[in-house]
Amino acid sequence: MLTRTNRRVLLLLIVLVLALTAQALAEQMTVYTANDGAKVYDAEGQVLGTLPANTKLTLTGVKGKVCRVEHGGKTAYMLKEDLAQAAELETPAPAATPTHAPSRTVTAYVARDGAKVYDADGDAIGALNLNDSVTVTAVNGSACAVSVSGRTGYMKKADLSADPVAKATATPEPAATATPEPFESTTAYVNADGAKVYSAKGGTLGTLGANTAVTVTAAKGNVCRVSANGHIGYMKKSDLSASPVAVVPTATPQPTATPTPVNATAYAAEDDVKVYSAGGSVLGTLELNDAVTVTAVKGNICQVTAGGRTGYVSLSELSEKKTVAAPTATPAPTGGSTVTPAKGTAKEMDWWTSDIQTIFARGVVAQITDVETGLSWRERRNGGTNHADCQPLTAADTAAMKKAYGGTWSWNRRAVFVTINGVNYAASINGMPHGSGSITDNNFNGHHCIHFTNSRTHGSNKVCPLHQAAIKKAASTTL
């Protein structure tokens, strides 16, 4: 066993080696005395004095268990066990054998994610998550000796709690989830207008509208990390849905003081046109050509009456005239392809998450090829939000489309290729002229619908399984 004199000589030798080798840190670090009465030595191992706990020092070199420090412009030496690094360095430097042992071991809980566990020399050997349980076997100042899964280490007392810590749920805490648990990325949709997007520190970056598509790249608790338009942020899981949500009138549609038109008859332009109450709830649906009386109009909302009941309908879902089949007595050309039919296979494109709405933007002319008959014609997209509202470009194109339908317009869904800039896309059409259209000399009274993967009807705001089946057929066909 070393005598006090021998220990002093050993300390002196270590200090001299440190001084001679000038083993400096790559960067000077701020440290603090870990307890009251910490001794300060000169280069010869003589005690210069003592310092109280939490005295701030600058660490300039380390050799074994001896540290070279600066304090008040003077250089001195201290034992490593008497120092603790700054809080941001997370090194509690616990004593190798804490002296204040509790009368019995106690269970404690980790008070934050990523709390570090150290060895007796103060080196980090691992980290624990919020509310992981540990057994505290001894305590010395701000350091605790702990046992976890049969292994012994040291932790900061500030990183432990006597009871499990409740997780906050009222407000997302993205800062606490900067590294959320990874999982396979998936597409989600904002389920209400004004959903907030947060930064990693919890600040609001902005808001998103209903049915905005985002890519969820990670999730933890009620917080999701999302990517949208190349930007990364965090959102409440409760503000996201796995699929687009139905959009109903967001404000009570109040008629204007002098509404126009007044007491005019209109007709449902397609099947499943929803009729809403003043509060936005669905009262019922109208089928194609059901008649209503329009009593007021404001923006895109019409106040209507039918069967003695009053409700509200989107203006775009009504027509001034009944939807009828195009005249057949004197059709223009008798049919046949107006362009060379598409060949090869077609890509399946999601209406909400792919670029198809940009590729097939309003005003774009596309080539349509019917999968079963091979007939092909041209169409222009004029509108539509849940799907594309389109018209054959000319009377000849109308004739080709009608021939694909066997000479009679119908609501039947047909699998088609939509070709734009030489690329084929899998789609589905119905063959009933309805509503309005901007091309008036094509023998097609109104427009018809072209659906892509996951697009929805305008009336019911639902994905139509018949259209989706036709799209799958097109995607699996080689022409």
97 lies in some domain: no
169 lies in some domain: no
Residue 80 DSSP one-character state: G
151 and 209 assigned to the same domain: no
Torsion of CA 142, 101, 79, 88, to 10 degrees: -20
Q: DSSP letters along 8-40, please?
A: HHHHHHHHHHHHHHT-EEEEEEEEEESSTTEEE
CA–CA separation, 100 and 198 (whole Å): 45
305 lies in some domain: yes
Pairing of strands 448-451, 423-431: antiparallel
251 lies in some domain: no
280 and 210 assigned to the same domain: no
pLDDT in tens, 51-79: 887 778 888 887 777 888 888 788 888 88
155 lies in some domain: yes
What is the value of pTM for the model shown?
0.36
Count of the separate structural domains present in the chain: 5
328 lies in some domain: no
List the domain range (segments joined by +) for residue 178.
Answer: 174-241
205 and 133 assigned to the same domain: no
User: CA Rg, the chain, in Å?
Assistant: 37
Per-residue pLDDT 10s for the chain (479 aa) are 445 555 555 555 554 444 433 333 434 777 778 777 888 888 777 788 888 877 788 888 877 778 888 887 888 888 888 887 633 323 333 333 344 444 457 888 888 877 888 877 677 777 888 888 888 888 777 788 888 877 888 888 888 888 787 654 334 444 333 344 445 678 888 877 778 888 777 777 777 777 778 888 888 878 888 887 767 888 888 888 887 765 444 434 443 333 344 678 888 877 778 888 877 777 877 777 788 888 888 777 888 888 788 888 887 788 888 766 433 333 434 567 889 999 999 999 999 999 999 999 988 999 999 999 999 999 999 888 899 999 999 999 999 999 999 999 999 999 999 999 999 999 999 999 988 888 889 999 999 999 999 999 887 788 999 999 999 999 999 99
230 lies in some domain: yes
**205: domain CATH number?**
2.30.30.40
184 lies in some domain: yes
71 and 182 assigned to the same domain: no
**389: domain CATH number?**
2.30.110
361 and 451 assigned to the same domain: yes
List strands edge to edge, sheet with 182-190: 204-208, 195-198, 231-236, 223-228, 213-220, 182-190, 240-241
